Structure 1
Amino acid sequence: MDVEKEIFIVLKLLIAFVLGAAIGLDREKHGSSAGIRTYAAVCLGATLFTAIGEHLQDIAAASRIIANILVGIGFLGAGIIYKNDKTNSSQGLTTAATIWCTAGIGVAVGLNMLIIAVVAAAAIYFLLSLYHHKWYLRWKAKMQKAHKIENTDD
Structure 2
Amino acid sequence: MHNPWLIDDLHILIRLLLSMLLGGLIGLERESSNRAAGLRTHILVCLGSSLIMMLSIYGFAEFANEMNIRMDPARLASAVITGIGFLGAGTILFTGKSITGLTTAASLWVVAALGLSVGAGFNFAAIATTLLILLTLVLFNKLEQRYIKGNKLHLVTIHATNAPGFLDDVSDLFKEEGFTIKKCIVNERNVNPYGELQPPQTTIELTMHVLIKRTFDPIYVSSKVRGLEGVTMISLE
Q: CA RMSD of the aligned region, Å?
A: 2.4
Tell me, yes or no, if structure 1 residue 5 matches structure 2 residue 16: no
Structure 2 residue aligned with 1:137: 145
Q: Does 1:124 align with 2:133?
A: yes
Quick one: distance in 1 between partners of 2:126 and 2:89? 24
Residue 33 of structure 1, CA deviation: 2.3
| Aligned-residue offset at 1:38 | 0.7
- Structure 2 match to 1:38: 41
Structure showing the higher strand proportion among its residues: 2
Query: TM-score, normalized by length of structure 1?
Result: 0.82
Relative to the length of structure 2, the TM-score reads: 0.55
1:26-66 Cα distance to aligned partner (Å, 9 max, x none): 11122222111011111100000001111035675421100
Where does structure 2 lack aligned partners over 5 or more consecutive residues?
Answer: 1-6, 65-69, 152-179, 181-210, 215-237
Q: After the TM superposition, which residues 1-154 of structure 1 pair with which residues of structure 2 at under 5 Å, given as runs?
A: 5-55=8-58, 56-57=60-61, 60-85=71-96, 87=97, 89-130=98-139, 133=142, 135-141=143-149, 144=150
Q: Secondary structure at the match of 2:35?
A: coil
Q: Which amino acid counterpart does residue 94 of structure 1 have in structure 2?
A: T
CA deviations on 1:8-34 (whole Å, 9 max, x unpaired) are 111100000000001111111222221
Secondary structure at the counterpart of residue 148 of structure 2: helix
Query: What percent of counterpart residues are identical?
Result: 33
Q: Deviations over 1:97-149 (max 9, x none)?
A: 1100000011010111101000111111111113652x4312222xx36xx9x
Residue type at the aligned position of 1:17: M
Question: What is the aligned residue count?
Answer: 142
Structure 2 residue identity aligned to 1:37: R
**Paired residues of 2:29 and 2:138 also in contact (CA < 8 A):** yes
Structure (1 or 2) with the larger CA radius of gyration: 2
Helix, strand or coil at the partner of 1:119 = helix
* C-alpha distance 84-130 of structure 1, shift in aligned 2 (>3 A): farther
Unaligned runs of 5+ in 1: none
In 1: Cα distance, 2:33 partner to 2:93 partner: 20
Amino acid of the structure 1 residue aligned with 2:37: A
